Structure 1
Amino acid sequence: MDMRKKSQPWLVPLLILIAVLWAMGKNETPPSQVRPNPPPPANSLVSTPLHAAQPIQASPIYRFVNADRLNLRNEPAGKVISTLKRGDKIQVFGWRDDWARVSPDGQPARWLSSKSLCDAVHCYVISRPETTRPARLSPQPIPRQTPSYGSSCPCSSGTVCIGPRGGRYCITSGGNKRYGV
């Protein structure tokens, strides 16, 4: 018997089916991966509720530090725990007089002075007046007195004579020159 002459009609459709399934498997996109939120910057105090039983605020209240250094305290006017710097963004959970609580309920209390907080974006930027350089002054000619010779500058009148080499003098009542006036 010659096996080469026998055709197997099921082999060709089976190979086509495998090729189609393989191609469909290649085209499937993997399920979208859920990316975790990036961690907040190290100097910011952004908190998230730890317990599902905590009440959720309708809209969080965010403020910015508007001081070069702002002390973070364990209670209003209490012990300094840490410091924040200008421009740090924080979430405020409550208020007491001039103090803002920046820790969520159930967490150790953290307070800071609300006087050093602002609520607008870039409100913490220090506006520096534009410094202008003084206009370069053109050299002013030094007023020179015309040298006077003789008895036209007596010391009693306060008039000063200037000699040929720039020396200042006056004429005394005796007719002598007194220098260094």
Structure 2
Amino acid sequence: MSTSPLPPTDTIATTDSFTYPPHHSFPPFYTLQPNQATLTRQLSLWSSLIRSHFSHHRTFKLPLSSAPTLPLFSNAKLNRSLDPLAIRQILDFMATSTPPTASYTSSDKTVAWIWWRTPSEWADKIASWVEETGQKGVVLTIYELRESDAVQGQEWVGMDEDMLRKVLDVLVKKGRCQVFGQVDGSGVKFF
């Protein structure tokens, strides 16, 4: 586990331009409910809110250590916030949903990727971009797919490298690309 701070493109902002749904201002929303049917609905609402928030900010990674202090998980007007255990329970729910909408980056469950699009949907986005920009047959580096001027404006810009590799695995399985190497400088050839 790295102790260095994450780049700004990997984490959600602490200031927020996101428009929250009405239930974000409902005090019981911040306490996980004991009734199973109510809890399932609450977890589903949190999952949808998290995915919408990450999509709005075009971010992908949630470090659990800072999550309770983020506007997403708190409401200063209500003086309410989710505790770390509740946030983990929500992420566990998201990780076991079909399809999964979150996944932990390691077994210690301290950081999660938020899948506001499924890996298959991301793969389709990248494949469309490759087609539209004439990149078939071209070898691009992982870095170029994540950060270069050519991809600026694309929703996946700044996606964590390991997350992007999971997306590319979808295209590999479909026979639409091949990945060469295991480091950031590795290449991807699209067919």
Q: Is the structural similarity TM-score above 0.5?
A: no
Q: TM-score range by the shorter chain?
A: under 0.3
TM-score by length of 2: 0.16
More helix by share: 2
TM-score by length of 1: 0.16
Highest RCO, 1 vs 2 (Cα 8 Å, sep ≥ 6): 2
**Bigger Rg over Cα:** 1
